[in-house]
Structures are given as C-alpha cells and as structure tokens.
Structure 1
Amino acid sequence: MGRKSNIRLEHIQPGKPQQNAYIERFNRTVRGEWLGQYIFETIEEAQDQATQWLWTYNNERPNMGIGGITSAMKLKTAA
C-alpha cells in the first residue's frame, strides 16, 4: 500500500466506442444472447439470469477468438 504504480486513467472519447472495442463487443453479446430475450419481473430475476448466463459464457461457450476453447480453459492454461 502507498506504492505508486504510475497508472493513469484515461476515458474513451464521447462517440468513440471503438476505443474500447472489447467491452463494446461483450455488451453486444449480452444484449443479443440474453438481455433482449427476456422480460424480467424483478431485479433479482435479472440478476439470477445474468449470473447463469455469465457462468455459461465463461465455462461452456467456446470462444473462437482464443482458439475455440472456453474462457475458463484459457484461464487454467495461463496459470
């Protein structure tokens, strides 16, 4: 603690989502694969669905950008 890491926060420019393409791609996937598919009655229901979807996204869904394996498999090989 108290150590300087020379990290500087820089925000993307308004109207320039390509400056944060990774999260923009993820957001599009979230909207297309589950958020736009359901009508939620409560915030708890939305949170439960989000948790289930995210687990599937990371553990069961192959990611072609990392060689057709899941994100969880990639994490295990990196450790």
Structure 2
Amino acid sequence: PMQNGFCESFNGRMRDELLNETLFLGLDHARTTIAEWADDYNRSRPHSALGYLTPAAYAANLTATDDRLRNPT
C-alpha cells in the first residue's frame, strides 16, 4: 500500500542496498555505516525529482539563483 511514496522508496532502497547487505557489529558500527550511506544518498546520487542533479548540485544552483534574485545587477 502506497501511503507515502517518497518515504517508501527511500526505505526500500535503504533496506535493499544497506540493511540486507550489512552485518552490523554493534550500535556504533550501525550508526556510522548508516550515516555514511545517508550522506552518499543525500550528496552524491542524482535524483529524478531534482532533474537528475545531485542534491548538493541542486542546492548550490538554488543558492546561486537566490543570490541573483536578491542582488540583481
């Protein structure tokens, strides 16, 4: 059942790419590994909803656009 497609997609991807593939050796290992995966997911991967840009590139583009709107030349 699709209640929230964005969350379900993220959770499924995390489960398939990380949780099903990793044997965590403890809570600290789990936290570190999940944080690294989330950082890669949020910074390095292109996302279709962002025009296939990485979130970092999309954010940089928004920042540049916002600066141009605030300070037109």
Shorter chain as denominator, the TM-score bin is 0.7 to 0.9
Aligned length: 63
Residue 20 (1) aligns with residue 8 (2): no
Gaps (5+ residues) in structure 2?
A: 64-73
**Which of residues 9, 18, 33 in structure 2 aligns to 1:49?**
33
Q: TM-score, normalised by structure 2?
A: 0.74
Q: Distance in 1 between matches of 2:53 and 2:25?
A: 34
Structure 2 counterparts to residues 50-65 of structure 1, below 5 A: 50-65=34-49
More relative contact order, 1 or 2 (CA 8 Å, 6+ apart): 2
TM-score by length of 1: 0.69
Higher helix share: 2
Percentage of pairs with the same residue: 30
Could you tell me which runs of 5 or more consecutive residues in structure 1 were left unpaired when the two chains were aligned.
1-16
The Cα of 1:54 is off from its aligned counterpart by 0.9
